[in-house]
Amino acid sequence: MIGLLIRGGRLVDPAASLDSILDLRLCDGIVVAIGERLEPAAGDEIIDAREAFVSPGFVDMHVHLREPGFPEKETIATGTSAAVRGGFTTVACMPNTKPALDDPAVIGDLMREVKRRARCRVYPIGAITLGRRGAQPCDFAALAAAGVVAFSDDGDTVEDPRVLRDAALLARNLRAPFIEHCEPEEAIALRDLQIAKETAKSWHLAHVSTAATLEILRSARRRGVGATCEATPHHLTFTSALIAQAGAAAKVNPPLRDEHDVQALRRAVYDGTIDVLASDHAPHTAQEKEGDLERAAPGFSGLEVAVGAYAAALPDLSPSRFVELISTNPARILGVRGGTLAIGEPADVTIFADRAWTVDPAEFASKGRCTPFAGARLPRKVLTTIVGGIVQFRAADCAA
């Protein structure tokens, strides 16, 4: 197989303690060499990455790909095209589909579609309860055997604490964490972290959005709870004031909060409280995002703006810490390969640069063209996305 030699980029791989100008050679779908001024092998394609960062492929652990059931909102093909445009080589997809991802046969069908259509790696997140109805736990071992990497009733909270506790006990020996959608946020975070402690189940809080939730998490960690958490581009950027201006385009779960929360969330990224940056890519049709605020669907596309939005919200984040939050940590939490460019690892690579661009949703690969970032000028962009050694995206204006 023809190799790829990525030359002259700033290679940032915190898992391997690397942050310097180095060449990277990929062949047969894996990383085969890292070093200064590598020589190409015969037939190698050369990618000039000078002035750019070269990192392990980005991993988004909170994405709605909408299949099965809602192809009018997104499909595996369009959602993973959006992913690679956003620099993501791996996404984990949420189970609020129709049918829900609560059964190994449904996972099997989904993975066949992924094999046929996906432009990046896709790992399914199984439901916690059958039909996401909050009553009966799924067969966690069977779902894990079918390839599920986490469990969540995302979009809904498991309301009955007894159901959640029983489910956590059933799943406690599986590596796949529970990912809870916490609403009402603080009360459910408090309850969940208590259940995580009692059951010793691995736990992850999705889209943390308030200063108070962060305090609850810090205090649980002091008591020995090992839970992880994520923050989204929109909660790191906007306040609820945007709703007056943007209407349904700013409607999302959890809702946009106050300036105080936005600032607390940013500080929590810098101080290490937040483990992961995740987009909560939640595309809907244009009709579902129009008109009456009450009736409009919550959520919007995130994959294609995430990297620029993180950089705008977190200007003091070092490249190494950024890669940790967007690649190393989510790969580790999900227990999937990737998240590092060590020799022998998958050739999943993202090349990005601190170059400004303006968000134009008309250019999105996602079917969901609604985003509160429309028209925003963002300071960082993805130049090239390589999945398993194959270039899946190259920006029109990129040297790399």
Beta-strand runs (E) in the chain:
4-13, 18-27, 30-35, 45-48, 53-56, 58-63, 88-93, 121-126, 150-151, 178-180, 203-205, 228-231, 276-277, 349-353, 357-358, 377-378, 381-387, 390-394
Total residues contacting ligand NCD by CB under 6 A comes to: 11
**Does residue 237 touch ligand NCD according to CB under 6 A?**
no
DSSP state, residue 346: B
**Does residue 253 touch ligand NCD according to CB under 6 A?**
yes
Whether 156 is a known active-site residue: answer no
Q: Which is nearer to ligand NCD, 181 or 369 (CB)?
A: 181
Q: How far is the CB of 164 from ligand NCD (least distance, A)?
A: 17
**Does residue 74 touch ligand NCD according to CB under 6 A?**
no
Kindly provide the b/e burial profile for residues 109-148, where b requires at least 16 CB atoms within 10 angstroms of the residue's own CB: ebbebbeebbbbbbbbbbbbbeebebeebbbbeebbebbb
**Does residue 181 touch ligand NCD according to CB under 6 A?**
yes
Instruction: Please give the residues from 255 up to 284 whose contact with ligand NCD meets the rule CB under 6 A.
Output: 280, 282
Q: How far is the CB of 217 from ligand NCD (least distance, A)?
A: 19
Instruction: Please give the residues from 313 up to 352 whose contact with ligand NCD meets the rule CB under 6 A.
Output: none
**Does residue 368 touch ligand NCD according to CB under 6 A?**
no
**Does residue 299 touch ligand NCD according to CB under 6 A?**
yes
Q: Return d(Cα 130, Cα 102) in angstroms, integer.
A: 6
Q: Return d(Cα 193, Cα 154) in angstroms, integer.
A: 17
**Does residue 388 touch ligand NCD according to CB under 6 A?**
no
Q: How far is the CB of 383 from ligand NCD (least distance, A)?
A: 29
Q: Return d(Cα 126, Cα 116) in angstroms, integer.
A: 21
The binder of ligand NCD chosen from 10, 25, 64, 367 (CB under 6 A):
64
Give, in order, the Cα–Cα distances in Å from 83 to each of 112, 170, 185, 225, 262. 19, 33, 28, 32, 25
Q: Which is nearer to ligand NCD, 284 or 381 (CB)?
A: 284
Q: Which is nearer to ligand NCD, 25 or 181 (CB)?
A: 181
Q: How far is the CB of 6 from ligand NCD (least distance, A)?
A: 35
Q: Which is nearer to ligand NCD, 64 or 367 (CB)?
A: 64
Return the amino acid letter for 23: D
Contacts for 219-222: CB closer than 8 Å, 24+ residues apart: 220/193, 220/194, 220/196
One character per residue 77-96, x = contact with ligand NCD (rule: CB under 6 A): -------------------x
Q: Return d(Cα 280, Cα 400) in angstroms, integer.
A: 28
Q: Which is nearer to ligand NCD, 29 or 155 (CB)?
A: 155
**Does residue 298 touch ligand NCD according to CB under 6 A?**
yes
Q: Which of 139, 280, 292, 348 is catalytic?
A: 280
Please give the positions annotated as active site. Answer: 280
| Interacting residues with ligand NCD (CB under 6 A) | 64, 96, 154-155, 181, 252-253, 280, 282, 298-299
